[in-house]
Amino acid sequence: MNKLLSGSGIVVLAMTMTLACSSGSVAQDDSGAPALDVTTELDGLSRPWDVVVAPDGAILTGERSGRFVVERADGSVADLEADLGDLYAEGETGLMGIELARDFSSSRTLYTCQGVLGGDAGMDSSGDSEGNRIAVVRWSVDAAWTKLTRVATVLDGIPVAGNGRHGGCRILAAEDGSLFVGTGDTASPTVPQDRTSLGGKVLHIDADGSPAADAPDRVYTLGHRNVQGLAFAPGAGRLYEVEQGTSRDDELNLLVPGGNYGYKPDREPGIYDESVEMTDPDRVPGAHAAVWSSGSPTIATPGLAFTDGAAWGEWNGAAVVSSQQGQKLVFLKLTDDGTGVAQHAVALENEYGRLRSVTSLPDGSLLLTTDNGSDDKVLRISPR
């Protein structure tokens, strides 16, 4: 594995593309996206699902098939020793979301969302017949970034499909140390609307795994298809998610506690009907409309972050959505109330292939992982 020098940055001038918006969005002004500097932090990876940066500058990523890789603050790159002997890695499921605890500097604690093999975890009826499921795991890491030690399973029993389809699974730590967890619906017709299932939801738990105060049954929102991106808008405290659509309508949603986001793919009993609307207010009364949707065809949206810093100019505070199928970044400048899109543009289109996870950093830059299956990268994106 080679780490490229930061001087190898590529300057990319982004172009714009017309994208569909929800009915709640205002008319859009298609001005240009920011010019970007792109440098490679890590390469030689295979489907890195997520990436985080520690206070000491270490960059940690994890391959979906089961491998942790760190770039330490001194520039050295290494695999981290970790017990992943029970990892269930099938289809879209494996080692997925990674999140640092808010008190990481003192606790050295981080969390993963990962597939787990076998055993009885109190699965609901949508669970894998072999007992496979998805869990949120707490780890600690040594100061030298050589070894991850498994501490506890914080949340177990998130359902998984036998082929690993629609496994989610993003983790986001709130200021109070609680965790939001985005999950997939396992391609099951009843899961998104079933409050007894942890699939097709955004969950909210305290750090010990108990339900958060605003989610007595751990379910913060429901009616989702496959939640893979979660992020807070800077300053406003608003929580957003992105989920992947069927053949159309990937969505960006503004989340409210108890909200139903309208995916109900059981038009015929027992059949997972992906021809239904992603947000169906007729069959799901009171369903919350999307802030933005991709229209048709889907572009596959697995990652979400927000720009933060004056260097972004007019795009400061914009949502940044990654795209696998569309192979681009989508910049969305939201309206003042956060419920619509005032301006949009795209960047990096067809430059790096399939793009997965987007992480915002304290210095205003973004980290971005690619998802091509060979020689994947962690890229650093900065406004030029």
Condensed to tens digits (0 to 9), the pLDDT of residues 308-365 reads 999 999 999 999 999 999 999 999 999 999 999 999 999 999 999 999 999 999 999 9
Find out whether 54 and 35 touch, Cβ atoms under 8 Å: no
Task: Say whether 191 sits in a helix, a strand or coil.
Answer: helix
Whether 199 is in a domain gets the answer yes
**Domain CATH for 183:** 2.120.10.30
- pLDDT for residue 127: 55
Report the run of H or E that residue 25 belongs to, with start and end: none
Tokens of 362: 């304290």
Residue 48: name the closest of 303, 383, 238 by CA: 303
- The first and second tokens of residue 203, run together, are 């969950």
The answer as to whether 192 is a domain residue is yes
Tell me the per-residue pLDDT of 290-304, one tens digit each, with 9 for 90 and over.
Answer: 999 999 999 999 999
Q: How many domains does the chain have?
A: 1
Measured at the CA of 302, the angle between CA 68 and CA 185, to 5 degrees, comes to 100
Instruction: Say whether pLDDT at 27 is over 50.
Output: no
Q: Please tell me the distance from the alpha carbon of residue 303 to that of residue 318, in angstroms, as a whole number.
A: 14
Give me the pLDDT at residue 120, please: 57
Query: What are the residue ranges of helices labelled H in the chain?
Result: 104-107
Parent domain of 200: 6-383
- Establish if 1 belongs to a structural domain: no
Query: Is residue 12 assigned to a domain?
Result: yes
| Cβ atoms within 10 Å, residue 29 | 11
Domain-located, residue 48: yes
- Sign of the dihedral through C-alpha 218, 290, 167, 246: positive
Within a domain: 34: yes
